[in-house]
Structure 1
Amino acid sequence: MKTRKLGNLTVSSIGLGCMGMSGMYGSADEQEAIATIHKAIELTQGGAAFLDTADAYGVGHNEELIGKAIKGKREQVIIATKFGLASTSKDGKAMPVNGKPEYVRQACEVSLRRLGIETIDLYYQHRVDPNVPIEDTVGAMAELVKEGKVKYIGLSEASAKTLHRASKVHPITALQSEYSLWSRDVETEILPTCKELGIGFVPWSPLGRGFLTGQIQKFEDLAPDDWRRNSPRFQGDNFQHNLNLVTLVQKIAVEKNCSPAQLALAWLLAQDESIVPIPGTKRISYLLQNLGALDVLLSNEDLVRINTIVPKGAFSGERYPAPLMQMVNI
């Protein structure tokens, strides 16, 4: 397994997003999820298996699950978790955000207990709280670093302006935001700002919430309790328009002798050395397929062709329902 740097933090070049292990995309099997985490650890023998979770995933269940999986294996993993959301949304409604300094400490203590660890490697604010100055929130996170409860800090779905303000309080190691072939809005201001400030970038949903894999062919393929049923990009005419674009991506993948998912991940990896995608899965088979993207080499001609077929803004529909769109890039 190759590694990359997020600021001064060394992690596996492709991380493992664990949210789906707690039921956001339909049912999940806990034993299979733990086996998947163990396989990720096995494949990163250098001790940099990059696991991503949050206290909101499964309302704490995801952190507890990871805690079980890494017991006796702490030195082999890099744990990233988040605070600031009371829960994740399955109905497309806005979620309460809390960036108050006293809450930062409280949330960290709870996450440490659930994970069964003494120090969180990378601690993100899950969403920026518009009612609390970012300087206050990051200041509280910086105190946790001084106390040894957190090694590095990050933000999620923050604007370029917020990144500049936060970086004046404490170095920001990573920004986690949605980025993929079908969500490229960060390319305008946010990625250049990360480059300027030396902030690593961690794309979540690098496979377009699974759409870029080519496995979803109709709306009914989504389980009744699947969060994606509320996503505008999976609804109505947007679905067919986006599916047509994925078909074009699939044709290039066939030519490159790889899966569409591997092509999408290879495209992200080729954008910059400071980018570390965290595709989510709860199955070993998909984990292995995702890691196969590291062997897909894209030439400049390949990248130009992909950009021509699916340029920025090509996919139809907002990436979130309206209430949730108001919570990003603050």
Structure 2
Amino acid sequence: AYLAAGQLDAVQQEYSMVCRDLETKLAPYCIENEVSILSYSSLALGLLSGKVGPERVFEGDDQRRNNPRFSRANREKVARLMQEIRSIAAAHEATEAQIVIAWTLQQPGITFALCGARNPEQARENAKAGRIHLSREHISRISEAAKRNLTDLDA
């Protein structure tokens, strides 16, 4: 529908290791038509930040409290993924969140990775991910670990 009105320059779509729906149709279309993709929720509401472990308790009006993605079982799956990411982060002198953001930025068609931050320091730390270049081997290791561990998170 947007294309009927003229050139489409960019789309904003949820995308992370947890939510990869755009890879099948939208990303190939955008690549072919030179449309930028701005991914949002790249850290999946903090689930992929490396700071939300299985023991975490969400209280009050925290939107993650009743979100199936944040069940203890799912946080255990993510913890296994983070073990793989932790070694790659150490090799880059980076945080797990920075590696997740760098992985996102290096996916086909992704132009920007939008990430929430609770304070200026988090924003600065997230921005450092833009300077990290992951090798093909590291991207592959992370992608395979995500496929192994991040199954049925919304079930």
- Fold conserved between structures, TM > 0.5: yes
Distance across 2 between alignment mates of 1:256 and 1:213: 16
- 1:178 paired residue number: 14
**Match of 1:238?**
74
Preserved CA contact (<8 Å) 1:174 1:200: yes
Say whether the 8 Å CA contact 1:182–1:313 is kept in structure 2: no
Check whether the contact 2:58–2:64 (CA below 8 A) recurs between aligned residues. Answer: yes
Name structure 1 gaps, 5 residues minimum.
Answer: 1-164, 322-330
Structure 1 equivalent of residue 137 of structure 2: 301
Instruction: Tell me the alpha carbon deviations over residues 121-156 of structure 1, each in whole angstroms, 9 at most, x when there is no partner.
Output: xxxxxxxxxxxxxxxxxxxxxxxxxxxxxxxxxxxx
Corresponding residue SS for 2:65: helix
Q: CA deviation at 1:293?
A: 0.7
Post-superposition CA distance 1:104-128 (Å, at most 9, x none): xxxxxxxxxxxxxxxxxxxxxxxxx
The superposition leaves residues 303-326 of structure 1 with CA deviations (integer Å, 9 ceiling, x where unpaired) of 1222222238834322xx9xxxxx
1:65 aligns to what?
Answer: none
Residue correspondences, number: 155
1:279 and 2:115 matched:
yes
Give the aligned partner of residue 262 of structure 1.
Answer: 98
Taking the aligned partners of 2:28 and 2:148, their CA distance within structure 1 comes to 16
1:208 aligns with 2:44: yes
Distance in 2 between residues matched to 1:286 and 1:201, nearest whole Å = 23
TM superposition score normalised by structure 1: 0.43
Which residue is 1:41 aligned to?
none
Q: Kindly indicate whether the alpha-carbon contact (under 8 Å) linking 2:27 and 2:109 is maintained by their aligned counterparts in 1.
A: no
The structure number with the bigger radius of gyration is 1
More deviation, 216-225/181-190: 216-225
Over 3 Å counting, the alpha-carbon distance change for 1:265 and 1:231 in structure 2 is same
Change in 2 beyond 3 A, CA 1:205/1:214: same
- Taking the aligned partners of 2:87 and 2:152, their CA distance within structure 1 comes to 20
After superposition, the C-alpha distances for 1:42-91 in whole angstroms (9 at most, x for unaligned) are xxxxxxxxxxxxxxxxxxxxxxxxxxxxxxxxxxxxxxxxxxxxxxxxxx
**Identity in percent:** 28
Equivalent pair of 2:84/2:142 in contact (CA under 8 Å): no
Per the normalisation by structure 2, the TM-score is 0.86
Letter in 1 for 2:10: A
1:253-277 Cα offsets, whole Å, 9 max, x none, are 1222210111011111212465111
CA shift for structure 1 position 219:
6.0
The 4+ residue runs of structure 1 with deviation greater than 4 A are none
**Unaligned 5+ residue runs, structure 2?**
none
